[in-house]
């Protein structure tokens, strides 16, 4: 599978991608809102292997794709959409970008492109996402792509010895079409 946007190419993961993923997942900025305190080769190889396994599913319901920055031909993150089962008409959107590329609109471009894929190719009627409430950059991305705040879940996730609130966002196909 190959998808393209203005500055990004979305492609299937390959096993060798673990090195590029490890490079950004070790960054303390990335780890701020991650469950891990650090990431090592084994962690990231398992992470990439999960995406490789999803590629083999028939019928496929999870599409997490590597984000390649066209200008540098470099993997800078991933973005995807995941259904719970084949009959589902809704899915969860998720993304991550290397901290070295934050603040340049890549997450917004990626999320917008994956919304289009979800509504046009997968024929979904609703797409949702969530983020840690303190991750204001991620909240802004979800709002920029037209997703509406649905609810705040208090003390929803526990990691790094504390509870974190999360915010849920959603958009329906009709809302997306009328933007």
Residue-level pLDDT, tens digit, the chain, 179 residues:
899 999 999 999 999 999 999 999 999 999 999 999 999 999 999 999 999 999 999 999 999 999 999 999 999 999 999 999 999 999 999 999 999 999 999 999 999 999 999 999 999 999 999 999 999 999 999 999 999 999 999 999 999 899 999 999 999 999 999 99
CATH of the domain at 111: 3.40.630.30
Predicted pLDDT of residue 87: 96
Q: Which domain holds residue 144?
A: 2-177
**Residue 75 φ then ψ, to 5°:** -75, 125
Predicted pLDDT of residue 147: 98
Predicted pLDDT of residue 164: 95
> Rounded to a whole number, what is the distance in angstroms from the first to the last CA of the chain?
27
Q: Distance (Å, rounded) from C-alpha 17 to C-alpha 62?
A: 18
Torsion of CA 16, 58, 8, 50, to 10 degrees: -40
Which residue shows structure tokens 């991550």?
96
Q: Distance (Å, rounded) from C-alpha 41 to C-alpha 23?
A: 10
Respond yes or no on whether the N-terminal peptide bond of residue 154 is cis (omega within 30° of 0).
no
Total domain count for the chain? 1
pTM for the full predicted model: 0.95
Predicted pLDDT of residue 68: 98
């Amino acid at each position: 599978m190959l998808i393209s946007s203005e500055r990004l190419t979305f492609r299937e993961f390959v096993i060798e991608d673990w090195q590029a993923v490890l490079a950004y997942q070790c960054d303390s900025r990335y780890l701020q809102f991650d469950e891990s305190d650090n990431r090592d080769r084994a962690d990231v190889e398992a992470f990439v292997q999960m995406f490789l396994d999803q590629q083999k599913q028939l019928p496929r319901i999870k599409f997490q794709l590597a984000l390649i920055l066209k200008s540098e031909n470099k993997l800078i993150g991933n973005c995807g959409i995941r259904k719970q089962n084949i009959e589902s008409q809704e899915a969860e959107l998720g993304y991550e970008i290397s901290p070295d590329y934050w603040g340049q609109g890549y997450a917004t471009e990626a999320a917008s492109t994956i919304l289009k894929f979800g509504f046009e190719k997968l024929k979904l009627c609703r797409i949702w996402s969530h983020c840690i409430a303190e991750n204001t950059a991620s909240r802004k991305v979800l709002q920029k792509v037209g997703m509406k705040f649905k609810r705040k879940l208090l003390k929803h996730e526990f990691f790094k010895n504390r509870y974190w609130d999360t915010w849920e966002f959603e958009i329906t196909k009709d809302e997306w079409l009328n933007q």
